[in-house]
Amino acid sequence: MSEHRFAVAVAWTGDRGEGTATYRGYGRDHEVTSAGVPTLLGSAHRTFHGDADRWNPELLLVAALSECHLLSYLHVCVRHDVVVTGYDDDASGSMRLNPDGSGEFTEVTLRPRVRLADPAQAELANTLHEEAARLCFIARSVAFPVHHEPTVV
């Protein structure tokens, strides 16, 4: 086994001059940085007084699951001699808020649409999503179900 580390820095940029003196008195804006990649502008979801023009943690979690499945799926397809020529996904997640202010995701659904060089491999290509799901680092790390509704187009 090998271990890999991933480092990011998050810097809050939402101080409006009074810090967190009041709940609505501060911005939720922040920047996420990591060596060698562009800065990601983040905020809270609009529901939580954030900026709708920025990425929020909830969107990033769904995106991470979708990206991880994509990369795992492409890897599995290579191993099974399935040539993918296109892939896109319309992923969504559901989050529950609790009375105490906490919350958690209850599920994420991935809807990958795959294009193949050989349409005769459609059935095999669809079954490979199961193997990809077992390999996905992010999906293996979350405590809620990640559903898959794949199609070959």
63 SS3 class: helix
> What does the angle CA 139 – CA 54 – CA 29 come to, to the nearest 5 degrees?
105
User: 99-138 in b/e burial notation, b at 16+ Cβ within 10 A?
Assistant: eeeeeebeebbbebebebeeeebeeebeebbebbbebbeb
58: phi then psi, degrees, rounded to nearest 5: -65, -45
Running DSSP on this structure, what letter comes out for residue 23? T
Q: Rounded to two decimals, what is the model's pTM?
A: 0.93
Low-confidence ranges of the chain (pLDDT < 50): none
Running DSSP on this structure, what letter comes out for residue 112? E
Q: Evaluate whether 33 touches 59 at the Cβ level (below 8 Å).
A: no
- Give the pLDDT score at 1: 83
Running DSSP on this structure, what letter comes out for residue 55? B
Contact partners, residue 17, CB within 8 Å, separation at least 6: none
Q: Strand 103-110 to strand 146-148: parallel, antiparallel, or no bridges (unpaired)? A: parallel
